[in-house]
């Protein structure tokens, strides 16, 4: 398995740099693994009575935040897969405001959602860790915005860290 260094800032939309900066270290697989464990630890620390807590009217509850992380990671991994196989699909990463607000949280627990997150993250790690450098850095000529599998992997780490920080700072205070 190769070491997957930090992404080239030109291989992603400009606003991704914020999320890249949240990623720790210089090896993507290590960063994904550490971030997975940190996220699972955070979920495990949340009391059951706060699972449906919203920090403000109209904001997602805690379960919705973690389901959002699972959903987004599926997008990143699928787009990374398509890029690595040089399969051009029109799959733009959805922005938060375009998301449906129905996350199907009824009857779900954070323990259940933690299992889903771990499963999705493990699949992402498996996918990215088997790619060659050429697969990781392939981009379609002229495609805007530009993405690579490498940049999407690092974005997954930063995006997750961003939301975990929001949970700590806004939901658990």
Kindly state the helix (H) or strand (E) to which residue 133 belongs, with its residue range: helix 133-137
**pLDDT band, residue 143 (cuts 50/70/90):** confident
Tell me how many domains the chain contains.
1
Please report how many Cα atoms fall inside a 13 Å half-sphere around the Cα of residue 127, on the Cβ side. Answer: 24
Kindly state the helix (H) or strand (E) to which residue 36 belongs, with its residue range: helix 28-45
pLDDT tens across 35-88, in order?
A: 999 999 999 999 999 999 999 998 999 999 999 999 999 999 999 999 999 998
Instruction: Tell me the whole-structure pTM to 2 decimals.
Output: 0.93
Single out the residue of 89, 64, 62, 63 nearest to residue 75, CA to CA: 89
Residue 42 near residue 160 (C-beta atoms within 8 A)? no
- Establish if 76 belongs to a structural domain: yes
- Establish if 21 belongs to a structural domain: no
pLDDT of 90 strictly over 90: no
- Establish if 2 belongs to a structural domain: no
CATH number at residue 100: 1.20.120.450
pLDDT of 128 strictly over 60: yes
Domain membership of residue 142 as a residue range: 29-171
**pLDDT band, residue 89 (cuts 50/70/90):** confident
């Amino acid at each position: 398995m190769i070491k997957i260094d930090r992404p080239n800032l030109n291989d992603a939309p400009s606003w991704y740099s914020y999320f890249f900066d949240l990623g720790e270290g210089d090896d993507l697989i290590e960063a994904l693994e550490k971030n997975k464990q940190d996220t699972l630890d955070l979920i495990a620390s949340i009391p059951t009575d706060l699972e449906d807590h919203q920090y403000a009217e109209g904001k997602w509850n805690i379960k919705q935040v973690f389901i959002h992380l699972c959903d987004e990671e599926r997008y990143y991994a699928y787009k990374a897969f398509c890029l690595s196989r040089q399969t051009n699909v029109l799959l733009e990463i959805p922005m938060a405001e375009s998301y449906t607000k129905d996350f199907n949280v009824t009857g779900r627990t954070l323990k259940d959602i933690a299992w889903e997150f771990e499963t999705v993250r493990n699949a992402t790690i498996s996918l990215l860790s088997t790619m060659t450098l050429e697969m990781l850095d392939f981009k379609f000529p002229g495609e805007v915005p530009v993405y690579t599998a490498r940049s999407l992997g690092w974005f997954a780490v930063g995006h997750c860290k961003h939301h975990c920080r929001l949970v700590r700072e806004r939901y658990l205070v």
